[in-house]
Homo-oligomer: A and B are copies of this chain.
Amino acid sequence: MTRRTKQREAILDALADAGRPLTPIEMQDAAESASPGISQSTVYRTIKLLVEAGEAVPVPVPGEPDRYEHASAAEHHHHHFKCDACGKVFDLEGCSGSMKNMLPEGFTLRDHEIFLYGDCPACAGA
């Protein structure tokens, strides 16, 4: 039912190698060398499959299309950083703690998402 094809390997490898969340376009570019001519439909379909299979995790980015990261990155609670200059999203370790003190009366808390913005080392240096 889940067949092993070079397109799927290319996409999963791209995610694993990147070490950071990728957009569908970035995945397609990264997969292009391992599987030339790979189509966008395949990229999107494969993303959906990988997410359902738990091998990839969607990373919602405020105001932008979702990115996706390899499941191994999602094993621990973490957040993300987006570079103002190059637009890349990076993983951040840790979490500043509970958000409960921000919650008004009557609301229940299930999860939270934190995004930091600034410059990544490569761009800050330039």
Contact = CB atoms under 8 A, between A and B. Distances in A.
Contact of A117 (B93, B106, B112, B115): B112
Contacts of A118: 103, 107-111
Contacts of A101: 94, 96
Contact of A116 (B81, B92, B109): B109
Contacts of A90: 107
Given A92-B103, A92-B104, A93-B104, 16 more contacts: A60-B64, A61-B62, A90-B107, A94-B102, A96-B97, A102-B114, A107-B116, A107-B121, A107-B124, A108-B118, A109-B118, A111-B118, A112-B114, A112-B117, A113-B117, A114-B115
Interface of A: 58, 60-64, 66, 79, 81, 84, 90, 92-99, 101-121, 124-125
